[in-house]
Structure 1
Amino acid sequence: MQVTLELILSVLMCCFVRFSSQCSNYGYPFENHLATITPYRIVSNKSFERINFEGCTPKKIWLMARHGTRNPKYSLIEQMGSRLPQIKKLLLDGGSLPNEFIRNRDLDLLNKWKFNMDPDKHNKLTHEGEEEMLVLAERMQSRFPQLFDEVYSNTSYKFKYTHSQRTQKSAYYFTAGLFGKATAKDVWFPDPLKKDPILRFYKLCDRWNFEVKKNPAAQQEVRIFESGPEMEATIRDVNKRLNLKENILELDDVKLIYEMCSFETAWNKKSKSPWCAVLSQDNIKVLEYAKDLRYYWQDGYGHEITYKQACPAFRDMINFLQSKNRFPRVIAYFTHSGTILKLLAHLGLYKDSEHLTGKNYDSMGDRQWRTSLIDAFGSNVAFVVYGCGSEDKILTLHQENIVRLPPCPDTDLCDLSLVRDYYFQSLDKCDFTSMCRVH
């Protein structure tokens, strides 16, 4: 008990003397600021409570889910395996730690830290990712028992995943959450497409790939921010916290530390990554904003073509929900971050009053476009059509939480006719081929 009290008092004293931005991030919810590497457990609605609306019956559900927590990409695994051990040695051999920021417990964790991941396991779904999909399915089944039958039928369900191991395995574990692992092995999935027009439409959009994805100018705001005063201060601060002189750690090192902190937090519920202790609260927020900028200008509101091209997915959803066919009752797609973000922007959700830029960090602290919250691993968007007497109404869920679409800001259930009218261009004027042609 005495040790616990001393720990609390030391942290409080640090916060009193150095202000919160300078303190150790123990006790600080840094996992809320890990951008697209955030584990789904941080943002998910963990309620199993059934969702009912008086006088209404759920008829169908359309779900688009990002894969669960995965390993890093190939090049990042190589960087982590080569550079981080060098930084570890630099810190442990320097003799200037512990200090008021980096404590003995941090150094103990760092001393035990090893990274032996085989680069061939890049982008593979992890155990945490498997569990994310299992519990997502269990909660959805609990909320909508009329739709998610526990007995598998190829008539009632339509599942589909993209051409990647992480979405394939995510789909499998989702079905395992619904039917059990024994039955999940027999669930039928269509052969995945490398460029799926619904699940990964942007792979088919030449104009977006030319003007945005492969265009360095599209990420100009990120470069402005990463060379700006906030990031320069972050680099200085990290070196100062570690008692390193002359900014030995540069931007790429600090970003790599943030990546390792993020992935190890996502992979492990209970153990803390020693790399998170290297970063202060302010450091993490600055690094999060750099990521948010990147995805805002690549997959969000930065360029009109980015979110307009999501109309095939939106149209697929509306056509399914308004179809008079009773089956299937469930469509569940398993896809990637780029699809989820473009769809959210297409819907007009999480739109700030001004663009995120490299120079307005200070005014965007309460921004809606925070990938930590809207695009974590396992992020999902679901639409449920309810029969309410003679009318059909749509319920929208994001991260399993009810969200309200722009045409119905004051009600959870939105008339299908209002949704159709509001997004009529997505339905009636979605000429994907023309839109995505390079001019």
Structure 2
Amino acid sequence: MGFKLYVITVAVLVIFQDAESESISDDIRNHLGSKTPYRFKYLKDESKIKFPGCESTKMWMVIRHGSRLPSDEDIVGMTTTLKELSQQILSGHEGGKGQLSKEQLSRFANWLSSIDITKEKDLVEEGREEMTQLAKRMHKRFPSIIKSKYNSDTFEFRATPTERAEESAKSFAIGLFDKNAPKVTVTKTSKGDPVLRFYKHCDNWQKQVKKNPNTYAEQKKLGDSLLMNQTLENITQKLGLDNTIDLDTADLIYKTCGFETAWWKDYVSPWCFAFDKDTIKVLEYYHDLKHYLMDGYGNELTSQTACESVKNMFDHLTSKTGPNASFLFAHSGTLLKILTHMSLYKPEAPLTGDFIPEDSVWRLSDIDCFASNLAFVLFECKDGPHILTLHQERVVKLPACKKELCPLDHLQQVFHDTIHNCDHAAICKYNSSNDEL
């Protein structure tokens, strides 16, 4: 059975939605990590962004692909582990166990996952909609840069060689150019492109960071903690299971809750019923911690790998030739490393597995949702060129700047090494002596 059948099955389940399930959805929807749908996060204000004495002239924007299907591993887990678990949940409640309502149990009884594994990680319809609407809003905000008529000399579209990135680019083009979108040329980059996926074939980073078990020591500490054990027990009791679920199963439930929330606006995934406001925060932080350690501030090398992307941004905005708008379609790992290079969302103290900090600025639910995006806009002002930064369409102040609209020459000084001394090949060349660092 393919993905289309799965959509039909879930569409039938929408008739069971009531006020109770809606309130649960509201409670958990802000803690879905990198599976958070963009409709929960984007800025609703579409008005033109302008500053007195300034005119916007160029834009560089990197965009994470829209909502997608799970990986092949998670698809298998959904069709096997979760299918079996749903039956155990129903049986347990028949025996008087568990804390789910009749309406919630009816959702488990009708739940079915039959996603075509050959479509793993492909963009879904909601992902296309995220891209199309994002493009329309950006056009309204910066009409002097984003013209209504497509011209290959004016616009640049680049995407990693993945279905989800390429289709995101095409959907974004529809939002800008409507029927003329097929004329848009989307340049496919290499798998190890130093601008869009600079980490993918960066041997030094792969060995020192991503594939180094020591990277995840703090996350493992959290996974082995009393807090996590109690969280797993609370989830087990709520679902009415005989045996305490393990962390891998809880993680699969968490991701499925996120995916199914992202895919459909009017559907509440039954797997979201496994959590309350406390347990879901623990699973959320478990993912936040992983990506802080791997894609963020956990290792200085991670930030360094993004220098080619940031250099490309400066080169684009300061060039007297080339396109006015450059749209780059990439992935979570790309965005998080660029945010780190720009010193955005850096916690006051390093994140650890000892406790969950209150009001952490490093939350994937806020900074790394599906369709997450980061834009730098050049404004020509009476007192010289300035750069405005937007994340999730919201204007943000870079830590290096005094104001949101930041003088270009100041940023060029702050990022002098990035602009003039970025050597991606040297950064990524693996030296076994680095293992001791």
* Structure 1 and Structure 2 fold alike (TM over 0.5): yes
- Match of 2:353, SS state, is coil
**Residue among 307, 315, 318 paired with 1:311:** 307
- Does 2:263 match 1:267? yes
**What is the CA deviation profile of residues 232-255 of structure 1, one whole-angstrom value per residue up to 9, with x for unaligned ones?**
0111101121233442x2222211
Task: For structure 1, list consecutive stretches of 5 or more residues without a partner in the other structure.
Answer: 1-6, 12-22
Structure 1 residues 124-133 or 182-191, which shifts more? 182-191
Structure 1 letter corresponding to 2:53: G
**Residue among 369, 393, 411 paired with 1:419:** 411
- CA, structure 1 residues 97+29, in 2 after alignment: closer, same or farther (shift >3 Å)? farther
Q: Report if the CA contact (8 A) 2:194-2:424 is conserved.
A: no
**What is the CA deviation profile of residues 361-386 of structure 1, one whole-angstrom value per residue up to 9, with x for unaligned ones?**
2xx12111001100001000000000
- Match of 1:90, SS state, is helix
Q: Report if the CA contact (8 A) 2:98-2:241 is conserved.
A: no
Structure 1 letter corresponding to 2:39: R
**What is the CA deviation profile of residues 154-197 of structure 1, one whole-angstrom value per residue up to 9, with x for unaligned ones?**
111011000100000000000000001x3111211224312111
Distance in 2 between residues matched to 1:340 and 1:321, nearest whole Å: 19
- Does 2:239 match 1:242? yes
- Does 2:159 match 1:161? yes
**What is the CA deviation profile of residues 22-62 of structure 1, one whole-angstrom value per residue up to 9, with x for unaligned ones?**
x9962643111111111111111122111011110001000
Superposition map of 1:201-350 within 5 A: 201-247=198-244, 249-325=245-321, 327-350=322-345
Aligned residues with identical type, % of pairs? 38
Q: Report if the CA contact (8 A) 1:97-1:103 is conserved.
A: no
- Match of 1:395, SS state, is strand
Corresponding pairs, count: 414
Query: What is aligned with 1:130?
Result: 128
Structure 2 letter corresponding to 1:259: K
Task: For structure 2, list consecutive stretches of 5 or more residues without a partner in the other structure.
Answer: 1-17, 432-437
- Match of 1:71, SS state, is coil
**What is the CA deviation profile of residues 65-91 of structure 1, one whole-angstrom value per residue up to 9, with x for unaligned ones?**
000000000111011110111011101
Query: What is aligned with 1:368?
Result: 361
Query: What is aligned with 2:104?
Result: 106
Distance in 2 between residues matched to 1:291 and 1:232, nearest whole Å: 16
Structure 2 letter corresponding to 1:31: R
Q: Report if the CA contact (8 A) 1:25-1:277 is conserved.
A: no
**Structure 1: which 4+ aligned runs deviate by more than 6 Å?**
97-100
**TM-score, scaled to structure 2:** 0.91
Distance in 2 between residues matched to 1:95 and 1:201, nearest whole Å: 49
- Does 2:384 match 1:387? no
**What is the CA deviation profile of residues 299-357 of structure 1, one whole-angstrom value per residue up to 9, with x for unaligned ones?**
000000001111100010011111122x4110000000000000000000000111111
Superposition map of 1:11-22 within 5 A: none
Q: Report if the CA contact (8 A) 1:24-1:280 is conserved.
A: no
Distance in 2 between residues matched to 1:282 and 1:419, nearest whole Å: 41
- Does 2:430 match 1:438? yes
**What is the CA deviation profile of residues 248-281 of structure 1, one whole-angstrom value per residue up to 9, with x for unaligned ones?**
x222221111111110001011110111011111
- Does 2:412 match 1:404? no
Q: Report if the CA contact (8 A) 1:68-1:129 is conserved.
A: yes
